[in-house]
């Protein structure tokens, strides 16, 4: 496949190994990150992460936009 080819995601039918695939719905989360929580998906040191704050929710894969360190608190965007 040529990566320079433009694909119209609205009208194109895309398949991988014969199985149809489609884009997931877009999701944006604004979170007031508490102090003492790290902005990472997994922390080898076992510290609480922003994703621990979202655990009870059934949320698809999301990523933080930027980072706030452990001592910072405030607005964190995830998409």
So which residues are the catalytic ones?
69
Encoded tokens for 71 = 């001592």
DSSP 8-state code for residue 49? B
Cα dihedral 67→71→75→79 (10° resolution) = 30
């Amino acid at each position: 496949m040529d990566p320079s080819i433009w694909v119209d995601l609205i009208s194109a039918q895309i398949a991988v190994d014969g199985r149809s695939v489609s884009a997931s719905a877009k999701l944006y989360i604004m979170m007031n990150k508490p102090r003492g929580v790290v902005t990472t998906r997994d922390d080898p040191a076992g510290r609480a992460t922003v994703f621990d704050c979202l655990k009870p929710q059934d949320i698809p894969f999301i990523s933080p936009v930027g980072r706030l360190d452990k001592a910072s608190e405030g607005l964190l965007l995830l998409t």
